[in-house]
Amino acid sequence: MLVQPRMTIQLAPQDTALFSIIDKVMRGERLTLEDGLVLYASPDLLTIGQLADYVNQQKNGNKVYFIENMYINPTNVCEANCAFCGFKRKPGEEGAYTMHPEDVLAYVEERMTPGIREFHIVGGHNHLEPFDYYVNTIRTLKEHYPHITIKAYTGAEVVFFSKISGKSVQEVLETLIEAGLATLPGGGAEILSERYRLKMSPDKASTEEWLDVHRTAHHLGLKTHATMLYGSIETYAERLEHMLHIRNLQDETGGFLVFIPLAMQPRSVTASIKKRTSAYDDLRTIAISRLMLDNVPHIKSYWINIGTQLTQLSLTFGASDVHGTLVEERISHAVGALTQSALTRDELVWLIQGAGKIAVERDTFYNEVHVYKNA
């Protein structure tokens, strides 16, 4: 779905290379990979941000969304060897753990609050457990919390389940749906480039396998999420190719709810600033995501990765979602995230309203639960 402008904006770009892109956006035309490279090369970040904000205003007005959710990471034992991961442990290694369904239930009961609407479940590719373990984790939670939406297992995890169970991807998804699965998170995508994946995550799903999981999920009636883990060895062209993979599949199925650019985290919280993505790169990537992905409703600014203040600023660079309360996030913090591991509802509302936006509490599928009036 191309942007259909309903208003005009006054831009004074410092970079003449942006003129043709601005014209395209104003006419509702789709940007190309070459346009994306111009956006990444341009020194005029503010104009790019204004243009992305304009596109977001057409889609979402002044509303910015969040959800009260709980992260659950049932196991960190994993057979994959991803270069960027600090969460994974080998069997028997210090810090390795596996929570069985009753342990997961106890974990949730200790942390449950009345406002939580979503369980976000991702973990390691634990080859020591059968597929039934992963199914029963969902089934147990759904039986005890039938009103909570279960967002579980990345596209890479689904491919792993297919391998250990001998079932097709469709059969795996159908089994998980029967147990209570309602949507897939966007993880496991990293960068959808085989050059990248062979170097950074050689044991995980290929580009086509990841896309096929989400294509199959969409055909089964699920709405899903898509991420992009940027800031390591990928080129700008590969970032843009990743976005185009998502855009093309969205043209085909219409099943993606949101795109989430994730800034790569270093392996240690003591890592130097040079080991982290820059604020300029974070804002530029969020803005370019909004401009390239004309058919995806929302771009999420993930405060866990880039921090609350930069997240607030990103709300004028095309982002329309700040994710959620999380309760306790482990994966990004295991690889050096400097941010808090949770925020309260009041903090998220303050964050959004501080940017002059309207805070909207949502459910998993962007149905509005409560709109907070600005003071």
pLDDT tens, the chain, 375 aa long: 444 444 567 787 889 999 999 999 999 999 999 999 999 999 999 999 999 999 999 999 999 999 999 999 999 999 888 887 877 899 889 999 999 999 999 999 998 988 899 999 999 999 999 999 999 999 999 999 999 999 999 999 999 999 999 999 999 999 999 999 999 999 999 999 999 999 998 889 999 999 999 999 999 999 999 999 999 999 999 999 999 999 999 999 999 999 999 998 765 555 555 567 899 999 999 999 999 999 999 999 998 889 899 999 999 999 999 988 755 444 443 443 444 557 888 888 999 999 999 999 999 999 999 999 886
Q: Which CATH number fits domain 56-372: 3.20.20.70, 2.40.50.140, 3.40.50.300, 3.40.50.970?
A: 3.20.20.70
Is 143 assigned a ligand-binding role in the annotation? no
Tokens at 133, concatenated: 């373990």
**CB neighbours of residue 181 within 10 Å:** 25
Is 160 assigned a ligand-binding role in the annotation? no
Is 208 assigned a ligand-binding role in the annotation? no
Smallest Cα–Cα separation from 364: which of 156, 188, 215, 152?
Answer: 152
Prediction pTM value: 0.91
Residues 6+ apart with CB under 8 A from 336: 86, 265, 266, 267, 268, 269, 271, 275
Contact 11, 22 (CB under 8 A): yes
Burial class (CB in 10 A: 0-12, 13-18, 19+), 10: exposed
Contact 197, 156 (CB under 8 A): no
Is 190 assigned a ligand-binding role in the annotation? yes
Rg (CA), the chain: 20
Is 78 assigned a ligand-binding role in the annotation? yes
**CA gap 199, 158 in Å, rounded:** 21
